[in-house]
Amino acid sequence: MRRHLLEALFAAAAFLLPAAAAAVQASHHLLNTTGATTSGGGGGGRCNMFRGKWVFDGSYPLYDYSKCPFMYDEFNCLKFRRPDRMYLKYRWQPFSCNLPRFNGLYFLEKFRGKKIMFVGDSMSLNMWVSLSCMIHSWVPNARTAFVRTQGLSEIAFLDYGVKLLLYRTPFLVDMESQKAGRVLKLDSIRSGNSWMGMDILIFNSWHWWTHTGRTQPWDLLQERGKLYKDMNRMIAYYKGLTTWARWINRNVDPSKTRVFFQGISPTHYEGSDWNEPLNSCKGEVQPFWGLKYPAGIPLANVVVDKVLSRIKKPVYLLDITALSQYRKDAHPTYYGRHGLDCSHWCLPGLPDTWNLLLYAALFNK
């Protein structure tokens, strides 16, 4: 029922957005796949890193949370006394290849003097903190500097000149206060000036597009000078990402900057998504072990695939959705600072795998 509703919704979006029409047909395929979506950097025909299974690995986790100076409480499940530990012990194993072992010292040497920026919402924060802790575990005595703000934060490994930056912007496009209220501008990215000059950019945006009611951070949407009280969220997301794609086309020099899109991180608030109608992620201590995640791939993936298929500059999709859907056990639940949290991820935990995939994409030829 839910899947058919989503398909009907996007069919309506296609009527209003001719450019999205082709995505409707693609969605029928994507909603019935058993692995990752068909777009993005899967390693060509030799290996799709995003199709595989979770396996037990006694050498995990990759770092000690108590020794990482960059940890945030909202992800620090062990600090808040999560009693079970098995969620720390799973490694992602692609079906057709092996991921390289992460080496933080090698990472720092290869990117000596470089700037790496994560741009997006709290899922970008989750991944940024994870990578920082993974690297720090390899060079625990290295000199570091940590500047944490609401907008732009930075972790620098001073002995190597490597800077890991985080630019917080939930929508990628601009938000501004006007007389009419808080306006989300679907066709404006003035904040993009802050992303210039980076060696690696990792973008992410989705979760805040779905917020309604009291948690909705805007009052109106704007496009081409016209204000809208609301809009189908898939259409709005498509318009916003299309504006981001235009920014990439105009401002990124592929010879100087590598661009990644983090992909859609799933939530686990509806137990029916994995055939447990009465449950959220609360109390979940094991991954979903089936071959096909019952809820299917989120329709937001179709929007991402469509936008990336039309972008002119190379952008690598870290297609994390399917592998993350299986990890209903990996959220903070009540072991953090967000009440029942089935959206963010414990650290150490799943985002470490996202960074292993990033590492493989950066260094595997």
252-271 tens-digit pLDDT: 999 999 999 999 999 999 99
Which pLDDT belongs to residue 365?
57
Q: What is the mean pLDDT of residues 51-71?
A: 97
Which pLDDT belongs to residue 1?
45
Q: What is the mean pLDDT of residues 284-300?
A: 95
The answer to whether residue 27 scores a pLDDT higher than 50 is no
> How confident is residue 2, by pLDDT bands cut at 50, 70 and 90?
very low
| 163 Cβ contact list (under 8 Å, min separation 6) | 114, 115, 116, 154, 155, 156, 157
- Report d(CA 55, CA 91) in Å as an integer: 5
The answer to whether residue 11 scores a pLDDT higher than 80 is no
> What distances in angstroms separate CA 176 from CA 40, 186, 222, 346, one per listed residue?
32, 11, 10, 32
Which pLDDT belongs to residue 35?
32
> How confident is residue 149, by pLDDT bands cut at 50, 70 and 90?
confident
Which pLDDT belongs to residue 80?
95
The answer to whether residue 131 scores a pLDDT higher than 70 is yes
- Percentage above 70 pLDDT, the chain: 87
- Report d(CA 99, CA 146) in Å as an integer: 30
> What distances in angstroms separate CA 28 from CA 22, 31, 52, 243, 324, one per listed residue?
11, 5, 22, 26, 21
Q: What is the mean pLDDT of residues 318-328?
A: 98
- In sequence order, the β-bridge partners of residue 320 are none
Summarised one tens digit per residue, pLDDT across range 175-229 is: 999 988 999 999 999 999 999 999 999 999 999 999 999 899 999 999 999 999 9
| 213 Cβ contact list (under 8 Å, min separation 6) | none
Task: Mark 266-288 as b/e (b = at least 16 C-beta within 10 Å).
Answer: bbbeebebbeeeebbbeebeebb
Does the annotation count 122 as an active-site position? yes
Which 3 state secondary structure label does DSSP give 93? strand
Q: What is the mean pLDDT of residues 43-67?
A: 90
* Phi, psi dihedral angles at 333 (to 5 degrees): 45, -115
Average model confidence (pLDDT) for the chain? 89
Question: Which candidate in 207, 268, 331, 344 is catalytic?
Answer: 344
Does the annotation count 39 as an active-site position? no
Residue 26 contacts residue 303 (beta carbons within 8 Å): no
> How confident is residue 15, by pLDDT bands cut at 50, 70 and 90?
very low
- Percentage above 90 pLDDT, the chain: 81
> How confident is residue 45, by pLDDT bands cut at 50, 70 and 90?
low
The answer to whether residue 34 scores a pLDDT higher than 90 is no
Burial class from Cβ neighbours inside 10 Å (0-12, 13-18, 19+) for residue 328 reads: buried
Q: What is the mean pLDDT of residues 4-15?
A: 45
* Phi, psi dihedral angles at 325 (to 5 degrees): -60, -35
Residue 171 contacts residue 204 (beta carbons within 8 Å): no
Question: Which candidate in 121, 319, 341, 352 is catalytic?
Answer: 341
- Report d(CA 86, CA 61) in Å as an integer: 10
E strands present in 189-247: 200-203, 220-223, 226-228
Give the predicted TM-score (pTM) of the model. Answer: 0.89
Summarised one tens digit per residue, pLDDT across range 174-185 is: 999 998 899 999
The answer to whether residue 43 scores a pLDDT higher than 60 is no
Residue 326 contacts residue 307 (beta carbons within 8 Å): no
Task: Return the amino acid letter for 196.
Answer: M
Which pLDDT belongs to residue 311?
96
Asked if omega into 217 is within 30° of 0 (cis), the reply is: no
Question: Which candidate in 122, 130, 153, 343 is catalytic?
Answer: 122
Give me 177's structure tokens: 């206060």
Task: Return the amino acid letter for 119.
Answer: V
∠ CA 153-163-132 to the nearest 5 degrees?
75
